[in-house]
Amino acid sequence: MLIQEELNVQEKLEILSDAAKYDVACTSSGVDRKGKAGTLGNAAACGICHSFSADGRCISLLKILFTNQCIYDCKYCINRCSNDVVRTAFTPEEVCQLTIQFYRRNYIEGLFLSSGVLHSADYTMDLIYQTLKKLREEYHFHGYIHVKAIPGADPVLIEKTGFLADRMSINLELPTADGLKKLAPGKSRSKILTPMKQIQKGITANRYELMEYKKAPSFVPAGQSTQMIVGATGENDFQMMMVAEALYQNYDLKRVFYSAFVPVNQDSSLPALPGGPPLLREHRLYQADWLMRFYGFQAGELLSEDRPNFNVFLDPKCDWALRHLEIFPVEVNRADYYTLLRVPGMGVKSVKRIIAARRNGPLDFDSLKKIGVVLKRALYFITCSGRMMYPIKIEEDFITSHLVGEEQKKVWDIGSSGTFRQLSLFDDMNVPALTDLRGVRL
Amino acid sequence: MKTVYLCENSIEGILSGVYAAWTSRKGHANVKLGLIGDEDTMELFCQYEEVPVNAGHADKVVQAIREKISEEAYIVVYKAALSKERDRGDKIYRFLIYGFHLGAKVVHMLQVPEVFEIFQICRNIDNETHLLTGFVRFVEMEGDLLVSRIGPKNDVLVLLAPHFMDRLSGENWVIYDENRKKAVLHPALRPWFLVDLISSEWEERMKKASDEDEYEALFQCFRKSISIKERTNPVCQRNHMPLRYRAYMPEFSHGLKDS
């Protein structure tokens, strides 16, 4: 292992942020905290993006590894111990200085600190704890901190860190225990889930404590999150969604992130992805994730054992609506909140506006458009005062063909980023789901 | 004959205009609010009347809005007065006609075109404020002074200041609005205040300070290494961070696009 001792901060930052970039959790949301006079920082519940990198992902936190030295040999990871890359580590002082100085200039919303496992899980967790302690207590930093809990670390250390951080996360990495065994031999399912359970319990206990004593220190106030890699192993979308649902229900997670697998290592156990990372699949998973968190859907409604993967041509909500045409069309001026939420083209914001606006008089299609409803999708599924926008057959094939035409460009944009190809009149995008399409007229 | 009331470009000016137009008793259809200095073509068969700022009148209108409509409606009107919209004065007037007629529920009645206009204006200004809370960049100058330059379409300075006052309460900072030549000044541990600032020497000094700031180089390097090459997506980046903001950000000093 090549360990460089005399790197300057810029070189270290380059190496250690490069190594952290595959972690997708960059949100700074979930906690509202007022600033304290004379000290630096506050936190906004909505989260604030400070910049966007060339790949279109937001930069809101200073996302770095503490060190990229690691004892594990996870096949998909650039920092696995068998890789010959330059290894280095920050000192707690350097991390604090970078965070404070970036924060003052409004470059970032806070710190995201992860780390490779150096010597042992306990040793690494302690380093992270010392850094956070310095940042919070010596530098009086009140901004957002997202920190990784190292699987297998001492629960006491995790708890102490939790009182300093806003959000903690432990990456599940792969949705099934088999996949984990195959690609991350050093980690096991129980090793990951134990600290997750511990943090969940800590948050619940802390909530009761805060009810009684307002001044009690808060434990991981922005909740915990996790991340799964999409497309590194053979799991289908249904399995991914079931795991995500279980995590939301049993572990009270705030977010599950999905990260399209980017092959950084050559390894026989990793899939070759000639078409680039599975971005469209990742996109569909996120869409479904939103449906579960904000729209009251369940994983079992969107997918099933027989149809384990998302439709490539349609977003999950449209797909669901087309299979449940019996409940449509919905009357906008009467339907309740949850029914409206299930109409394609309507989101949480527009439904709330509809409910507020219709108290004062009926809505027509024109006002729906103003309110923010995407009529090109919604018009097949709604009536306003008993009328549809156009005379439309409520028939699966008819609506599918119209919706697919509208979605096609988006699918193309996401699925083939960076590559250019002649579009063909006949479908040659080697889509295996063509049989699922139920008579789309191409 | 229609009367156009020309008011000064400020919340007080516009509300004085509202007061003058309303109390003229000429009928809502026969009055219109304009702004002084607006280069709109003058209308024919119209009488133009300038309304001086009258704090007492503006205050009466504010009281009336708060009591007869709602606190929320007042916030909406205040924000609309800061917007880039050229006929914001008249739009506020039309909104208030419905407001005094319908009461507190008016802010949710998006099916009314006059209300929708105001809603749209507020949405635009809120969005720009939110983006700028992230996109403002400070440069450290001598004497621990943090200076930032922005060029927003709406007059968001007063909406932006409370956010940074809470966040950077212990710092001396300045946010300078280039389009309106005014700035928010915040001395450490004291409240912020608004001043008019016209000085080119300032920009020189900022540029020099920016060249010397080592953390700017560090951040540029961080931005570069954090992006995943396989996922490059300039359209997505542009949707989230329009080019017009980038001219004021040091990480794009070499050009508005990531090469």
Segment among A77-86, A108-117, B93-102 with least mean pLDDT: A77-86
B104-134 pLDDT, tens digit per residue, is 999 998 889 999 999 999 999 999 999 999 9
Q: Which pLDDT band holds residue A426 (cuts at 50, 70, 90)?
A: low
* pLDDT for the residue numbered A435: 44
Q: What region does A386 belong to: left with phi over 0, alpha with psi -120 to 50, or beta? A: left
Taking the CA of residue B227 and the nearest CA in chain A, the distance in Å comes to: 5
Structural domain of B90:
2-127
* pLDDT for the residue numbered B115: 94
Say whether both B118 and B6 belong to one domain: yes
Q: Which pair of tokens denotes residue A137?
A: 């207590």
A318-373 pLDDT, tens digit per residue, is 999 999 999 989 999 999 999 999 999 999 999 999 999 999 889 999 999 989 99
Q: Which of A48, A55, A143 sits opposite B232 (nearest CB)?
A: A55
Q: What one-character-per-residue DSSP string does A111-163 give?
A: EEEE----S-HHHHHHHHHHHHHIIIIIS-B-SEEEEEPPTT--HHHHHHHHT
Which residues on adjacent β-strands are paired with residue A305?
none
Which residues on adjacent β-strands are paired with residue B33?
B5
Chain A residue nearest residue B165, CA to CA: A35
Q: Give me the interface pTM, i.e. the ipTM.
A: 0.91
Say whether both B227 and B189 belong to one domain: no
- Mean pLDDT over B90-113 rounds to 93
Q: Which pair of tokens denotes residue A84?
A: 């010959």
Segment among A185-194, B107-116, B168-177 with least mean pLDDT: A185-194
CA dihedral angle for residue A70, residue A76, residue A78, residue A83, rounded to 10 degrees: 70
Q: Is the pTM of the predicted complex or chain greater than 0.80? A: yes
CA neighbor of A107 nearest in space, from B49, B167, B30: B167
A282-306 pLDDT, tens digit per residue, is 999 999 999 999 999 999 999 999 8
Say whether both B11 and B113 belong to one domain: yes
What part of A 123-182 touches B (C-beta under 8 Å)?
143
* pLDDT for the residue numbered B207: 72
pLDDT at B235 over 50: yes
- Mean pLDDT over B231-249 rounds to 91
Q: Which of A9, A55, A367 sits opposite B228 (nearest CB)?
A: A55
Kindly give, in sequence order, each residue whose CB lies less than 8 Å from that of residue A236, ignoring residues fewer than 6 positions away: A308, A309
Say whether both B119 and B141 belong to one domain: no
* pLDDT for the residue numbered A439: 43
Of the residues B104, B127, B150, which one is the last residue of a structural domain? B127
- Mean pLDDT over A181-203 rounds to 87
Q: What percent of chain A has pLDDT over 90?
A: 47
What part of A 33-92 touches B (C-beta under 8 Å)?
34-42, 44, 46, 48-60, 62-63
Say whether both B147 and B203 belong to one domain: yes
Say whether both B182 and B145 belong to one domain: yes
Q: Which pLDDT band holds residue A215 (cuts at 50, 70, 90)?
A: confident
Taking contacts as CB-CB distances below 8 angstroms, the residues of chain B near A371 are 110
Say whether both B225 and B254 belong to one domain: yes
Of the residues B107, B127, B147, which one is the last residue of a structural domain? B127
Q: Which residue has the tokens 């087309």?
A: A322
Q: What are phi and psi of B76, to 5 degrees?
A: -60, -45
* pLDDT for the residue numbered A75: 85
Q: Which pair of tokens denotes residue A362?
A: 């009926």
Of the residues B127, B157, B184, which one is the last residue of a structural domain? B127
Q: What percent of chain B has pLDDT over 70?
A: 98
> Which one-letter amino acid corresponds to residue A146?
H
Give yes or no for a contact between A291 and A261, defined as CB atoms under 8 angstroms apart. Answer: no
pLDDT at A74 over 80: yes
Q: 3-state DSSP call for residue A87?
A: strand
Q: Which pLDDT band holds residue A436 (cuts at 50, 70, 90)?
A: very low
Say whether both B25 and B103 belong to one domain: yes
- Chain centroid to Cα B173, Å, comes to 19
CA neighbor of A206 nearest in space, from A146, A152, A198: A198
* pLDDT for the residue numbered B42: 80
Q: Which residue has the tokens 């930032």?
A: B148
A123-154 pLDDT, tens digit per residue, is 999 999 999 999 999 999 999 999 999 988 89
Q: How far apart are CA B181 and CA B200, in angstroms?
A: 11
Q: Which pair of tokens denotes residue B92?
A: 């506020």
Chain A residue nearest residue B256, CA to CA: A54
pLDDT at A418 over 70: no
A267-283 pLDDT, tens digit per residue, is 888 888 877 888 899 99
B184-209 pLDDT, tens digit per residue, is 999 988 999 998 876 677 777 777 77
Say whether both B35 and B111 belong to one domain: yes
* pLDDT for the residue numbered B58: 95
* pLDDT for the residue numbered A407: 73
- Mean pLDDT over A8-24 rounds to 90
* pLDDT for the residue numbered A316: 93
Cis-peptide into A277, omega within 30 deg: no
Say whether both B195 and B233 belong to one domain: no
* pLDDT for the residue numbered A374: 93
**Domain extents for chain A?**
2-264+276-302, 316-437
Say whether both B24 and B121 belong to one domain: yes
Q: Does A101 touch chain B (CB under 8 A)?
A: yes
Say whether both B65 and B162 belong to one domain: no
Q: What region does A173 belong to: left with phi over 0, alpha with psi -120 to 50, or beta? A: left
Taking the CA of residue A19 and the nearest CA in chain B, the distance in Å comes to: 8
Structurally, chain B folds into a number of domains equal to: 3
* Fold annotation for A2-264+276-302: TIM Barrel (3.20.20)
Q: Which carries the bigger pLDDT value, residue B183 or residue B257?
A: B183
CB pairs under 8 A between A and B: 171
Task: Indicate yes or no: CB of B134 within 8 angstroms of CB of A52.
Answer: no
Residue A188: count of CB within 10 angstroms of its CB: 15
Q: Which of A13, A262, A413 sits opposite B222 (nearest CB)?
A: A13
